[in-house]
Amino acid sequence: MKKAKFQKPTGMHDIIFGDQRYFRSIINIAENIFNYYGFSRIDTPLLEDEDLFLKGVGEATDISEKEMYTLKTKGGDRLALRPEGTASVVRSYIEQGMANRPQPVKLYYVGPFFRYERPQAGRYRQFWQFGLESLGDASPVIDAQVINVLYAILMDLKLKNISIEINSIGDKECRNSYKKMLVKYLKSKSSSLCSDCKRRTKDNPLRFFDCKDPKCQAVKAEAPKIIDNLCEDCHAHFKQTLEYLDELELPYQINPCLVRGLDYYTKTVFEFFVTTKEEKSLALGGGGRYDYLVKLLGGKETPAIGAAFGIERIMQAMKDINLVDGFKPKDRVFLAQIGSLAKSKSLVLMESLRKAKIPVVESLGKDSLKIQMAKASRIGSKFIIIIGQKEAIENLAIIKNMETGRQETVPLDQVVAKIKKG
């Protein structure tokens, strides 16, 4: 019988070795920024009621129509692997009574999400995101703060050539009248539209602006823009948001065709991009206001704003400009040993180093000092601790500074202090 050879599912991937270095650095930096700005972590289930996303995201969106992984339980419940984070956070906000807490409630999340779509570079069927949500405050200063928090993360990750596209898609008051204007225009250009946009004209006309089909680009250029048809309140909100961004000196530009792909957005919407070495624009993530979503999902009317970034996309951008050195663990100690007694002493010493929060690498299964020293050199260790048979018997260790070439023999119980001292 032929042995089965298993492979990862199409569109999913392992995060291993060097990629883990990027992965953990991104998450650590994002969480440090979130914590600084007062966002608390929330973890929601990977599975939610399918209707949460159908109702929250919108039934006429790509997510609902063709991208959700759904299943029916033995009890007859219809569940979906979460395709995005906001609907789950809002469900929790309502269910856990967070409206009774001081507002705004500021939350962030990190985790895997799932969408059944065509895999390509930087896009997977299981992908990782970090995101943030601020619920309970309608002020445009919150819009600016959310955008600034995300920009700060990218700056701390040492990414360059970042740009922000921003737009306002209005609220119910001005958007309904605008939709009628847009539908009238699209119907007059029906013969020039792709099949998807002909359908969107009926179901979700704003999605027309997401179309990448070359056939629709000329129509898009001449289409009426919602930013020119905002009500007084939405216009003032957008103007104030831009003034805050100007004060922060963030690199934004207004894109009147930006609408985002989900039905729950209102007023401010935005996306972050990075320019690659090939002068291509790579989307990292984005978000916007969703002032009606809490009420739509069963809560009280609550203004809110949120955003999410794709971690794989950020990893791709970091690799594109070879951001490696800044994310290597620094000053790792390599612990080399020779002989059985030295291995025993090394195990104890490693615990002392761990408690002192000193990173250490070892090859306890190896007996060749040459092989161990080669590995220490390869990973760029600043210090090498060597415990041979003689040192083990005498409770000593040799500490070699690879930068200066200097080495000294010290008692085992003084190794941690010597390493700390440098």
Of 266, 301, 320, the last residue of a domain is: 320
Residues 149 and 281 placed together within one structural domain of the fold: yes
Of 310, 315, 269, nearest to 84 by C-alpha is: 310
Q: Assess if residue 197 is contained within a domain.
A: no
Q: Which tens digits make up the pLDDT trace of 248-297?
A: 999 999 999 998 877 889 999 999 999 988 778 899 999 999 999 999 99
Residues 417 and 293 placed together within one structural domain of the fold: no
Residues 304 and 412 placed together within one structural domain of the fold: no
Q: Which tens digits make up the pLDDT trace of 213-245?
A: 888 988 988 999 999 999 999 999 999 999 999
If you search the block for the tokens 């663990």, which residue do you land on?
329
Residues 293 and 413 placed together within one structural domain of the fold: no
157 is in which domain, residue-wise?
Answer: 17-171+231-320
Of 182, 174, 226, nearest to 200 by C-alpha is: 182
Residue 360 CA, distance from chain mean position: 29
pLDDT at 329: 54
Of 254, 286, 320, the last residue of a domain is: 320
Q: Which tens digits make up the pLDDT trace of 340-353?
A: 999 999 999 999 99
Spatial contact of 178 and 224, defined as CB atoms under 8 Å apart? yes
Residues 165 and 311 placed together within one structural domain of the fold: yes
On the CB side of 227, how many CA atoms lie within 13 Å of its CA? Answer: 13
The whole-angstrom separation of Cα 259 and Cα 265 is 8
User: Looking at residue 413, which CATH number applies to its domain?
Assistant: 3.40.50.800
The whole-angstrom separation of Cα 195 and Cα 59 is 18
Residues 61 and 83 placed together within one structural domain of the fold: yes
Residues 298 and 333 placed together within one structural domain of the fold: no
With H, G, I as helix, E, B as strand and everything else as coil, classify residue 81: strand
Of 128-137, 201-210, 387-396, the one with minimum mean pLDDT is 201-210
Q: How confident is the model at residue 327 (pLDDT cuts 50, 70, 90)?
A: low
Which pTM was predicted? 0.87
Q: What does the angle CA 307 – CA 94 – CA 295 come to, to the nearest 5 degrees?
A: 75
| Strand 333-337 to 383-387 pairing | parallel
Of 39-43, 180-184, 309-313, the one with minimum mean pLDDT is 180-184
Residues 157 and 240 placed together within one structural domain of the fold: yes
With H, G, I as helix, E, B as strand and everything else as coil, classify residue 314: helix
User: Which two three-digit tokens encode residue 280?
Assistant: 């291509």
288: left (phi over 0), alpha (psi -120 to 50) or beta: left
Q: Which residues of 315-336 are buried (b: 16+ CB within 10 A; e: fewer)?
A: bbbbebeebeeebeeeebbbbb
If one counts the domains in the chain, the total is: 2
The whole-angstrom separation of Cα 143 and Cα 300 is 21
The whole-angstrom separation of Cα 259 and Cα 368 is 62
Of 282, 267, 16, 305, nearest to 154 by C-alpha is: 282
The whole-angstrom separation of Cα 315 and Cα 308 is 15
pLDDT at 18: 83
pLDDT at 330: 54
The whole-angstrom separation of Cα 163 and Cα 115 is 26
Of 320, 354, 378, the last residue of a domain is: 320
pLDDT at 258: 94
Q: Assess if residue 2 is contained within a domain.
A: no
Residues 249 and 346 placed together within one structural domain of the fold: no
Task: Please count the other Cβ atoms lying within 10 Å of the Cβ belonging to residue 150.
Answer: 27
| Strand 40-41 to 105-114 pairing | parallel
pLDDT at 321: 83
Kindly tell me if the per-residue pLDDT of 4 is higher than 90. Answer: no
The whole-angstrom separation of Cα 146 and Cα 245 is 11
